[in-house]
Amino acid sequence: MKIKHSEIDVNEQNPFANCKLERKQYADVLSDVVKTCTDGFVLAINNEWGTGKTTFVKMWQQALRNDGFQTVYFNAWENDFESNPIIAIMSELQSLTNDKNGEIFKTVVEKGAILTKHILPALVKSVAKKYIDVDEITDAIGNLTKGTTEIFEKEINEYATKKKTVVEFRKELEKFIKKAETGKPLVFIIDELDRCRPDYAVEVLEQVKHFFSVQGIVFVLSIDKKHLASSIKGYYGSENIDTDEYLRRFIDLEYSIPKPTTELFCEYLYDYYSFDDFFSSNERMYYKNSTYDKENFLTISEQLFNQSNATLRQQEKMFALTRLILLSFDSRERTFSHLLFVLVYIKTMKNELYEAIKNNVYSLQELCNILDDLLPFKYDNSSSLYIQALFLQFYNNNREYYMNQEKTLDTNERGHRIGFIKSKFETVSDKLTTYFEQIDKSDWRDLDLNYLLKRIDLISPMNKRTILSQKIKHKNSRQYD
């Protein structure tokens, strides 16, 4: 059973074959932009962490390759242990060398060495060799830095010399890119920049702008601008920096991958975490109480996510936790999948409320008022109202002593059942009372909330029979992979 979202396989012939979020259409749009704007520019793909940017850019990279583009993928986070990103970026470009441009690349490296000669010569050579496995090139760096250290120490503060070196470096770099003769720009993808050390992230931006911004290279920054902004403020030691204005210096075009619809994403997560292995298992099909598990679970998850600000990563974690929790149920047990997921949602998004519910802090009416605001209430949402009634009934049963429990129903002088607990939405209070009546007649009316809470907090033991049956199922399915 999966509990962590693993990297999706990128099919070489059909890169988006395993994309269940219908994102190929957005890659096609970006490919058209790159084809149209052949001059060098910087494109930022700006989405929150956990929205699948890395998977998207890797799939898009393969699609670009299939379309005849040269591409480079650089994970900045994996390289921020180094002090100067220029060497790491150059190492990625080195992968593009061939018989036609190999000599030019040596010249690019030599010019780049001048830009980095403030680093000790031995360090320059050792770091470069780690990234660029070409002895001739690292020798060139070492020899050049040995011969220019004294000159550099005298001229480091002279603007004209530095400017000349940058211009020469960019000219040689442009020649190197043109020699590829593909007729298409190089697409250089920089991923995970927002996870880097603040100084390294800023250095990457500055060097891309000043050293590598030439005709023929399209840089793609896969970022979360909000987190990158924090790095920039941390680097400059000020909360007052206008990070939007700062980033505008580097980014020519910004794009955000549209979020998938909640329904599509929930169905994707449901399949990814193999919920049917439990909900639709042969063992559970014998029991009527499992008939609507899947429908109830997907309905409430979609409704909660539609009205909340849960990120895709938070949604994913809620599905993963719920799937793990299901291993504690026997195939014959009721899961109350809709209420179970509401509790998982509260634990994830509103942990203080979750702890208060566990400790029976609220009266029934107070909790009813809270649920009125929390649940996806649409004046006549039967599923939400039923969950609300079930939640309140189990919460009431959770009180240690029967004498501490509150009345939910009573009988008036005419013999009609009336409800003590009222929704703040008057039009549905009668329906809430009707659900209390239904639950009162059921064979689970005495269950308490701990039946679910202990499982959510992973206090209840895992059910060995459930685990075994699902292991066998996965083992058999692998025979057909």
- How far, in Å, are 376, 386, 478 from residue 304 at the CA level? 6, 15, 34
User: Is pLDDT above 70 for 417?
Assistant: no
User: Is pLDDT above 70 for 259?
Assistant: yes
DSSP string, 57-75: HHHHHHHHHHTT--EEEEE
Other beta carbons within 10 angstroms of residue 135's beta carbon come to 9
Out of 88-97, 132-141, 325-334, 431-440, least confident range:
132-141
Q: Where are the domains of the chain?
A: 24-255, 262-474
Confidence of residue 147 (pLDDT cuts 50, 70, 90): low
User: Is pLDDT above 70 for 464?
Assistant: no
The residue with greater pLDDT, 67 or 39, is: 67
Nearest to 51 by CA among 227, 307, 234: 227
Confidence of residue 104 (pLDDT cuts 50, 70, 90): confident
Quick one: average pLDDT of 409-420?
A: 63
pLDDT at residue 192, rounded to an integer: 93
d(CA 259, CA 250): 25
- Secondary structure element (H or E) that encloses residue 210, with its range: none
Out of 158-162, 195-199, 255-259, 374-378, least confident range:
158-162
pLDDT at residue 76, rounded to an integer: 93
Average pLDDT, the chain: 82
Confidence of residue 162 (pLDDT cuts 50, 70, 90): low
pLDDT at residue 406, rounded to an integer: 82
pLDDT tens for residues 435-456? 999 998 998 889 999 999 999 9
pLDDT tens for residues 10-56? 999 999 998 989 999 999 999 999 998 877 899 999 998 878 899 99
Tokens 């399949």 -> residue: 271
User: Is pLDDT above 80 for 386?
Assistant: yes
**Are the C-beta atoms of residues 3 and 324 closer than 8 Å to each other?**
yes
To the question of pTM greater than 0.85 for the whole model, the response is no
pLDDT at residue 412, rounded to an integer: 56
Confidence of residue 420 (pLDDT cuts 50, 70, 90): confident
pLDDT at residue 481, rounded to an integer: 30
Percent of the chain with pLDDT over 70: 79
Quick one: average pLDDT of 145-172?
A: 63
Q: Is 178 exposed, middle or buried (0-12, 13-18, 19+ CB in 10 A)?
A: middle
pLDDT tens for residues 307-329? 998 988 899 999 999 999 999 99
Nearest to 184 by CA among 37, 72, 336: 37
Quick one: average pLDDT of 400-426?
A: 70
Burial 274-301 (b: 16+ CB within 10 A, else e): bbebbbebeebeeeeebeebbebbbbbb
- Residue 362, amino acid: Y
d(CA 333, CA 284): 9
pLDDT at residue 125, rounded to an integer: 44
Percent of the chain with pLDDT over 90: 47
User: Is pLDDT above 70 for 153?
Assistant: no
Quick one: average pLDDT of 334-360?
A: 96
Out of 38-47, 371-380, 425-434, least confident range:
371-380
User: Is pLDDT above 60 for 144?
Assistant: no
**Are the C-beta atoms of residues 119 and 83 closer than 8 Å to each other?**
yes
- Secondary structure element (H or E) that encloses residue 189, with its range: strand 186-191
User: Is pLDDT above 60 for 143?
Assistant: no
- Secondary structure element (H or E) that encloses residue 332, with its range: none
User: Is pLDDT above 90 for 109?
Assistant: no
Quick one: average pLDDT of 145-171?
A: 62
User: Is pLDDT above 50 for 129?
Assistant: no
Nearest to 363 by CA among 427, 407, 402, 401: 407
- Residue 142, amino acid: G
Burial 415-428 (b: 16+ CB within 10 A, else e): eeeebebbbeeeeb
Quick one: average pLDDT of 378-392?
A: 81
Query: Mean pLDDT highest for which of 4-18, 98-112, 133-147?
Result: 4-18
**Are the C-beta atoms of residues 438 and 303 closer than 8 Å to each other?**
no
pLDDT at residue 180, rounded to an integer: 65
d(CA 417, CA 429): 13
The residue with greater pLDDT, 231 or 285, is: 231
Nearest to 447 by CA among 289, 288, 293, 282: 289
Out of 249-253, 310-314, 369-373, 477-481, least confident range:
477-481
User: Is pLDDT above 90 for 394?
Assistant: yes
**Are the C-beta atoms of residues 281 and 469 closer than 8 Å to each other?**
yes
Query: Mean pLDDT highest for which of 5-14, 48-57, 296-305?
Result: 296-305
d(CA 128, CA 135): 10
Q: Which CATH number fits domain 24-255: 1.10.860, 3.90.550, 3.10.530, 3.40.50?
A: 3.40.50
Nearest to 79 by CA among 145, 7, 136, 127: 127
Tokens 């670009």 -> residue: 64
Quick one: average pLDDT of 337-362?
A: 96
Confidence of residue 106 (pLDDT cuts 50, 70, 90): confident
Q: Based on C-alpha coordinates, what's the Rg of the chain?
A: 30
- Residue 437, amino acid: E
